[in-house]
């Protein structure tokens, strides 16, 4: 079955760039996602990328997809304290399945 | 984007009782889902809520424990029945406005604590 893996923790200094990495196993993934979850809140869709793309940029966020290596990354430029949260990577398989398979989440801590 | 609301936002229930969670979307959507997030864990799909027919449940989840309704294209309910402390989780509604569009949004979640 599908599997999505992320490192559990990342700490960066305010103003630096953060890079959160994710690997997945399903080669038939159609979409890959990054969600942000702040304490006590639901999931906020940050960005998503179609599997035939290799990069997507949206303001401070850059998503890179290496389909050959099944590797997805999220770069946050000029990281701020408000970026501290858990970031979930997720993938959607092709076919009739509509579910998302989530990684375990990466806790990003932004240090002053 | 889609604006999704859930009621209640949180509840504390006694074991053996049931809780019904409502999910309301601000516009018609083709796909609605219910996910569970256990404490400190990632998200797991419970079921796909189908309009006008029975929900499609994932492995490990059954209709008797998690009955779901979806009377129209903007509303769904999830009931968690015969509660036990192991049901303490966040329950999240999720929608995909257009099937195959890739845009999938989540509601704010309902935090359930079972005592």
Res A86: pLDDT: 96
**What confidence category does residue B63 fall into, taking pLDDT thresholds of 50, 70 and 90?**
very high
Residue B92 pLDDT class (50, 70, 90 cuts): very high
Residue A98: what pLDDT?
66
Q: Would you say residue A78 has pLDDT above 90?
A: yes
Are residues B92 and A92, on separate chains, in Cβ contact within 8 Å?
no
Per-residue pLDDT at B1: 76
- Whether residue B8 is preceded by a cis peptide bond, meaning omega within 30 degrees of 0, is yes
Model confidence at A1, pLDDT cuts 50, 70, 90, reads low
Token pair 């400190």: residue: B40
Mean pLDDT, chain A, integer = 92
A98: left (phi over 0), alpha (psi -120 to 50) or beta: alpha
- Please report the residues numbered 58 through 77 in chain A whose beta carbons come closer than 8 angstroms to any beta carbon of chain B: none
Residue-wise pLDDT tens digits, B27-42: 999 889 999 999 988 9
Provide the token pair at A76. Answer: 């946050």
From chain B, the residues in CB contact with A41 under 8 A are 108-109
Chain A residues whose beta carbon lies within 8 Å of the beta carbon of residue B36: none
Residue pair B20/B11 in contact by the 8 Å Cβ criterion: no
A87 — contact with chain B (CB < 8 Å)?
no
Beta strands in A2-105 (DSSP E): 4-6, 9-13, 18-24, 29-37, 43-50, 55-58, 61-66, 71-76, 85-93, 100-102
Strands A9-13 and A106-111: parallel
């Amino acid at each position: 079955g599908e599997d999505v893996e992320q490192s559990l923790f990342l700490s960066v200094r305010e103003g630096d760039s953060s890079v959160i990495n994710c690997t997945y196993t399903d080669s038939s993934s159609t979409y890959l996602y990054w969600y942000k979850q702040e304490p006590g809140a639901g999931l906020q869709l940050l960005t998503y990328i179609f599997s035939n793309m290799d990069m997507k940029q949206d303001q401070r966020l850059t998503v890179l997809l290496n389909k050959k290596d099944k590797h997805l990354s999220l770069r946050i430029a000029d990281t701020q304290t408000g970026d501290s949260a858990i970031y979930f990577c997720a993938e959607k398989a092709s076919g009739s399945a509509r579910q998302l398979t989530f990684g375990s989440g990466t806790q990003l801590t932004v240090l002053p | 984007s889609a604006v999704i609301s859930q009621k209640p936002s949180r509840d504390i229930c006694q074991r053996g009782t049931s809780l019904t969670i409502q999910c309301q979307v601000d516009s018609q959507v083709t796909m609605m889902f219910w996910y569970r997030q256990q404490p400190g864990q990632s998200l797991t799909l419970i079921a796909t809520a189908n309009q006008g027919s029975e929900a499609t449940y994932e492995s490990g989840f059954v209709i008797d424990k998690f009955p779901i309704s979806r009377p129209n294209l903007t509303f769904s309910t999830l009931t968690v029945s015969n509660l036990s402390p192991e049901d303490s989780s966040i329950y999240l509604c999720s929608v995909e406005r257009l099937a195959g569009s890739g845009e999938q949004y989540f509601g704010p979640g309902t935090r359930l604590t079972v005592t």
